[in-house]
Amino acid sequence: MINYSKTDLTQHPPRSVRVRLGGYAHLPRLLDKARAVSRGKGGDYKYNCPLDQHFFAFTKISPKAMLTAIKSGKSDTQVLAWVTKHTRRTPAEIAVWSAWIEQHGPGGSPGHEWIASTLKRVAPGRTDIRSFADLLDLDDYVSYGGKG
Task: Verify that 85 and 109 share a domain, yes or no.
Answer: no
Mean pLDDT (the chain, rounded): 94
Work out how many domains the chain is built from and give that number. Answer: 2
Task: Verify that 89 and 114 share a domain, yes or no.
Answer: no
Task: Verify that 37 and 68 share a domain, yes or no.
Answer: yes
pTM: predicted TM-score of the whole model, two decimal places: 0.92
Task: Verify that 44 and 22 share a domain, yes or no.
Answer: yes
DSSP code for 41: -
Other Cβ atoms within 10 Å of 23 Cβ, number: 15
- Can you give the pLDDT at residue 61? 98
pLDDT tens digits along 30-43:
999 999 999 999 99
Q: Which residue range(s) make up the domain with 113? A: 105-143
Task: Verify that 88 and 115 share a domain, yes or no.
Answer: no
